[in-house]
């Protein structure tokens, strides 16, 4: 499913501001002094990520004297971990009273294994204020975290706190509980939610044969739309199951476009949800790909919303040509190569007959033109032909029925598995930036 170019780039690192932040000397309240990532060997690699977005200005949740308990599914394992909290869309400082991490007890619910409970610190402190518009990376936490396991992150918010920064579609059931119950083995949920609040990344200190991390940059298809909740059937999760020594980070956002930020037409239904679509891929690429710990590879699957949103969730004035979409891909390639990342292009899936109103003869012609460029230009370091893997042999403009979630645009769980299988694992056998 992939054509691999023989030209490879070195893994020399251009150190980013985020990685400098990650190098703080720290003291863990539970485990004693812990220094930077060099102590004891190993390399810091992202094991889980999600993309923060703004929330809806007219419907911002508010938490007060409550704990948000959130489940994240790891890819690569390690013997230390760090959290990345985020207040990147907040206009005021975010006060966090306490944070705990622990391994999940069992395969469902939000209970923890008490023996693995750890207090997370920030510069040696158990509480932290995250400045407006900024992330905050924790001190290292001494906790053995297996690959492809569930980590529970509990964040206590003591003050009245508008949830201005979140990831809207987690396809994971999380919980809100009254008071500070960050260290409790089980909590009584006052609310359940399928979002991640104020949390955007987990990295681990990986040992041995780690080959860094691959970042999946995409839209709702990468984010996991229409997959089973709590099942971790997003295609990046399923790719992680095939890779033993590589982190896989999901930088997909439902509704995301290459070229435009959300811009719902005034008075349209899209005003109720477009904020969740996130900043354009061109705007967010440095944060969501280049700054990920250990990132050495990126897979790009974007363009369908650039075709489908104008006239539905965006004004017709934002209609783009195939050449403009290709130009955006070229920008991502240039920026990845400047940072010594290997970057792979995913072809746009078919969407004839979709229920969202995306398909037209004009958009189909643009999709074909973009896919032909991805396949034949040689500008990506490799091609991952998702279109070929999921299209219906009897009608190549449609998804195969067994891979169709029902909206004729998003793959179902079986389709996600087929996408993961279409990615050659040999792409990731050489090291990343870490």
84 & 181 share domain? yes
Which CATH number covers residue 328?
3.40.50.1110
Of 188, 183, 48, 201, which Cα lies nearest the Cα of 109? 188
Average pLDDT rounded to a whole number, residues 366-380: 98
- In percent, the amount of the chain with pLDDT more than 70 equals 89
The pLDDT of residue 348 is 98
pLDDT tens for residues 399-420?
A: 999 999 999 999 999 999 999 9
Give the total number of structural domains in the chain. Answer: 2
Write the pLDDT tens digit of every residue in 313-330: 999 999 999 999 999 999
How many beta carbons lie within 10 A of that of residue 269, not counting itself?
11
Residue 221 lies in domain: 2-8+204-428
Helix (H) or strand (E) holding 171: none
In this structure, are 195 and 249 located in the same domain? no
Same structural domain for residues 287 and 386? yes
Q: Is residue 336 part of a domain?
A: yes
Domain boundary among 201, 235, 250: 201
Q: Which of 101, 110, 96 is nearest to 81 (CA)?
A: 101
Question: What is the band of 9 on the pLDDT scale with cuts at 50, 70, 90?
Answer: very low
89-146, pLDDT tens digit by residue? 999 999 999 999 999 998 889 999 999 999 999 999 999 999 999 999 999 999 999 9
According to the model, what pLDDT value does residue 40 have?
54
Cβ burial, residue 90 (10 Å; 0-12/13-18/19+) = buried
- 18-31 pLDDT, tens digit per residue, is 333 333 223 333 33
Q: Of 186, 201, 216, which residue sits at a domain end?
A: 201
Split at pLDDT 50, 70, 90, the class of 301 is very high
- Looking at the fold, whether 79 and 187 belong to one and the same domain comes out as yes
Tens of pLDDT, residue by residue over 278-299, are 999 999 999 999 999 999 999 9
Q: Is 50 exceeded by the pLDDT of residue 248?
A: yes
Summarize the confidence of residues 169-176 as an average pLDDT. 97
Please report, for residues 154, 232, 328, 382, the alpha-carbon distance to residue 12 in angstroms, rounded to integers and kept in the order given. Answer: 36, 33, 25, 20
Quote the tokens at residue 241: 């199951």
The pLDDT of residue 383 is above 90: yes
């Amino acid at each position: 499913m992939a054509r691999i170019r023989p030209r490879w780039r070195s893994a020399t690192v251009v150190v980013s501001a985020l990685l400098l932040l990650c190098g703080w000397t720290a003291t863990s309240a539970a485990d004693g002094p812990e220094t930077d990532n060099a102590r004891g060997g190993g390399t810091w690699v992202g094991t889980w990520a999600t993309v923060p977005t703004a929330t809806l200005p007219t419907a911002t949740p508010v938490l007060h004297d409550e704990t948000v308990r959130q489940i994240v599914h790891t890819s690569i394992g390690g013997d230390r971990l760090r959290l990345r909290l985020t207040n990147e869309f907040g206009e005021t400082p975010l006060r966090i009273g306490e944070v705990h991490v622990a391994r999940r007890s069992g395969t469902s619910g939000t209970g923890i294994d008490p023996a693995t409970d750890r207090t997370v610190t920030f510069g040696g402190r158990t509480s932290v204020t995250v400045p407006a518009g900024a992330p905050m990376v924790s001190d290292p936490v001494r906790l053995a975290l297996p690959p492809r396991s569930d980590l529970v992150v509990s964040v206590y918010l003591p003050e009245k706190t508008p949830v201005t920064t979140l990831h809207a579609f987690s396809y994971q059931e999380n919980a809100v509980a009254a008071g500070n119950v960050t260290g409790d083995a089980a909590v009584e949920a006052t609310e359940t939610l399928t979002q991640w609040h104020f949390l955007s990344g987990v990295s681990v200190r990986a040992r041995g044969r780690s080959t860094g991390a691959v970042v999946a940059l995409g839209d709702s298809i990468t984010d996991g739309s229409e997959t089973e909740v709590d099942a971790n059937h997003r295609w990046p999760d399923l790719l992680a199951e095939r890779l033993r020594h590589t982190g896989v980070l999901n930088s997909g956002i439902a509704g995301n476009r290459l070229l435009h930020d959300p811009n719902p037409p005034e008075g349209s239904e899209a005003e109720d949800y477009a904020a969740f679509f996130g900043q354009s891929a061109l705007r967010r690429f440095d944060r969501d790909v280049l700054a990920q710990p250990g990132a050495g590879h990126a897979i790009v699957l974007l363009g369908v919303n650039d075709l489908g949103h104008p006239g539905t969730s965006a004004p017709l004035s934002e209609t783009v040509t195939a050449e403009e979409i290709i130009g955006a891909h070229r920008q991502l390639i240039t920026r990845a190569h400047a940072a010594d990342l290997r970057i792979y292009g995913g072809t746009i899936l078919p969407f004839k007959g979709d229920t969202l109103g995306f398909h037209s003869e004009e958009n189909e012609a643009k999709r074909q033109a973009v896919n032909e460029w991805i396949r034949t230009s040689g500008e990506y370091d490799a091609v991952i032909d998702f279109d070929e893997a999921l299209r219906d042999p009897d009608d190549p403009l449609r998804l195969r029925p067994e891979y169709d979630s029902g909206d004729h645009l998003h793959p179902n769980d079986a389709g996600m598995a087929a996408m993961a299988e279409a990615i050659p694992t040999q792409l990731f056998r050489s090291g990343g930036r870490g």
